[in-house]
Amino acid sequence: MNERSRHVAASSAIAPGDIGRRIAARRKELGLTRGEAADRAGTAAGYLHYLEETATAMPGTSVLIRLADALGTTVAALQGGEADLPPGLGQAASRAELIELDFEECRTRLSTHGVGRLAAHTPQGLSVLPVNYTVIDGTVAFRTAPGAAPAATVGDQVAFEVDQIDEALSQGWSVLVRGRARAVTDPVVARRLDALAYSRPWTGGDGRDLWVRIDEEGMTGRRIAVL
């Protein structure tokens, strides 16, 4: 059994409610209302609400197939069978082109939020650190603990990268920001960042009260287009 098959087989042990959360997350990622997603899947909006909100909901295979098709994903993905697989295992397109993104395209894609990678020199050497980030007032910002590795980047030149890969369509994009990391010391600004932040750190917010912003000095981006 190959690695992908083992992960798919392991999905049979998923906890009730996981499917509903994945359905909702994928639907929101596509910008669809429940009604729109239900219409695509040929089911009732009320039933989709039940699936997304009820922890014990376990839809049948036929429903999952229709939902996966409607949401442009796979049954395995909705069941969590691909959750631990690294991106990029799919096949590259036979004909593709690398296209440079202009500044506005870079800004738009960067503002989708999520997890980015912070590349910087740390006391342990050159490191790449994953951080939850948000874009507020046009600036990349993240919250960390004063003694954590990302905090050690304050005052230094850093690079910050985000990307997305669409396995099904063999497409993807990436945006790279270069600049200087700066600690937010004004309590008014820090409170504003707290209020407007897209999400709290996935590892928990306790003690992570230092906001760091990246003063942008350059931004570039590229996307893969299938010909």
160 near 118, Cβ under 8 Å? Answer: yes
- The predicted-structure confidence for 37-48, as pLDDT tens digits, reads as follows 999 999 999 999
The pLDDT tens digits for 152-196 are 899 999 999 999 877 666 778 999 999 999 999 999 999 999 888
pLDDT tens by residue, 82-95: 655 556 556 666 67
Which domains are assigned to the chain?
A: 3-79 (1.10.260.40), 96-226 (2.30.110.10)
Tokens of 11: 């999905």
Please choose, from the candidates 145, 137, 101, 150, the residue with its C-alpha nearest in 3D space to the C-alpha of residue 216: 137
pLDDT of residue 2: 43
Q: DSSP characters for 81-122?
A: TTTTSPTT-SPPPSSEEEEE--HHHHHHHHTT-EEEEEEEEE
pLDDT at 87: 61
Work out the percent of the chain whose per-residue pLDDT is above 90. Answer: 44
Structure tokens given for 12: 């049979």
pLDDT exceeds cutoff 70 at 30: yes
The structure's pTM equals 0.63
Share of the chain above pLDDT 70, in %: 83
d(CA 111, CA 134): 7
Share the mean pLDDT of the chain: 83
